[in-house]
Structure 1
C-alpha cells in the first residue's frame, strides 16, 4: 500500500474543491484522497490491484465502493464527474518499485490510467492526475494532444528533488 505523502495530500486538497454525483479514485492506496472526495460527492468508488489497500480502505470507510482491478477496467456504464489518480510517476531506475516508478519515462502508468478513465468521464467530467517534473512531460503532452484533451495545472508543489503538479484533464 502506498503510504500518504506530499503528493497524496496535494491531490486530496485539489480534489476537495470539486463536487458532483460520482467520483472515482484509480489506485486508491490508503484511501486518503477518496475520503476527501466523499465530502462532496454522493458516490465514491476506488480501485486498486492491491487487496491489502482495499481491505485497509474498507476498514476506514464503509461507504466507499471498492473494486479490485487494474486502473478503471471494471467499470462499464457508470459515468464519473471526477476521476482522480496519483499514479506511479517516477522514471524507472535500477530498483523498480511499482508504487512509485511509472515506466521507463515515468508517464507510462499515467497514460494507461488516463486511457482507462476516458470512456468513464461524464460529458463535463474532469480528471485530476499528479505529475512529476522528473517524468517525460513531452511524452504525456503528446498523448494528451492525440486524445484531444486539455491540460490545466491546478496546483504545484516544489519538493527538494522535484516539482509535483496536479493537472486537470478535460475534453
Structure 2
C-alpha cells in the first residue's frame, strides 16, 4: 500500500476510535447548511471531515493533521486556515473516505444519499456470490457492502482517485478478496460474474465531471451501456442490479424506453424495473440539457440471466 493510502487508512482508524459519525447529504443541502451563520469555519472533527469547513489551530489532534499532510490531503486557505481534501462518511457499520465538498473537480469521488439508497437496494438481493463486480465503483461502497457474502469483489472505475479511495475503504472496513481495476466498465475486467452492480452517473453535466455525467442528451447513455454489456458477462442465473436516474418527458420514462429493446433481446429470466423516487435534483431542470424534462426519477433495474 502506498504512503498516501496508508495515511488515509490510519486517519480513518483514528476517526473511528474517536467515535466519529457523519451522514453525507446532497450537495445542495450541504451548501445550505454551510451558508448558515457561524458555519463558515470548523469547531469540531465533524465540521472538518463531514462538513468540509476550514479549520484553524487546535481543532484537530496533531496526529490527524500529520496524517492529512502525509496523504497529501491538507489544503491551505488564504486566511491561514486549512481544509481537508477528503471527507469520511458512515454507512451502517462502515466508514468510507471520499472527496471533500464541494465536489467540483473533474475527478471528484462522490458519496451521498444515492450511495445509501444503492447499498440498501443491494441488501435486498438475496444469496451469496462467487464473483461480484461494481462498475463505476466510486468509493467502492456498493461492492464492499456485499463483500461479506462474496468470494471475490472487483471494483472497476476509470477514475484513478476512485480506485485509490476504494482500496483505502476496503482496508479500512476489513474487506477481503477485493481487487480494484482501472477499466471502462467491463473492458479491462475478465471473466463472468454472479452479481454485476452499478450506481452510475445519471445527470447531463455540462462540466463533464466523471462522477456526475451519464452521457448522451439526458445522462442515460452510460446506464444503457451497463445493461447491454453487463448481461453478456453474467453467469447463468446471475443478477444485474442497476440504480440510476431516469429523465421523464411528457410522462415517458426515457431510460425505460431505451432499455426495453435491450432486455427484450437479452437471455433474461426475470426483469424488475421500479421507480424508487419520483423527483430528485429538481434544480437540474433549470439547466439547458433538461429543457422539456418534467422530472428526474430514481429507478432500479434488477434482472436475472437464464
2:241–2:300 CA contact under 8 A, matched in 1: yes
Question: Do structure 1's residue 16 and structure 2's residue 128 form an aligned pair?
Answer: no
Q: Which has the higher strand share?
A: 1
Structure 1: tracts of 5 or more residues without a match: none
Q: Which protein has the larger Cα radius of gyration, Structure 1 or Structure 2?
A: 2
Partner residue of 1:60? 169
2-structure distance, mates of 1:147, 1:105 = 24
Q: Which has the higher helix share?
A: 2
Aligned residues: 169
Question: Do structure 1's residue 96 and structure 2's residue 205 form an aligned pair?
Answer: no
1-structure distance, mates of 2:170, 2:159 = 17
Note the C-alpha offset of 1:159. 4.6
**Larger relative contact order, structure 1 or 2 (CA cutoff 8 Å, min sep 6):** 1
Question: Do structure 1's residue 163 and structure 2's residue 163 form an aligned pair?
Answer: no
- TM-score, L = length of structure 1: 0.85
Note the C-alpha offset of 1:127. 0.5
The residue correspondences of 1:1-171 to structure 2 (distance < 5 A) are 1-17=108-124, 18=126, 19-62=128-171, 63=176, 64-76=178-190, 78-90=191-203, 92=204, 94-102=206-214, 103-134=216-247, 136-137=254-255, 138-147=257-266, 149=268, 150-153=270-273, 156-160=276-280, 161=282, 162-171=296-305
- TM-score, L = length of structure 2: 0.50
Note the C-alpha offset of 1:93. 5.3
2:159–2:210 CA contact under 8 A, matched in 1: no
The Cα RMSD (Å) is: 2.2
Note the C-alpha offset of 1:120. 1.8
**65-74 vs 114-123, which deviates more?**
114-123
2-structure distance, mates of 1:4, 1:93 = 17
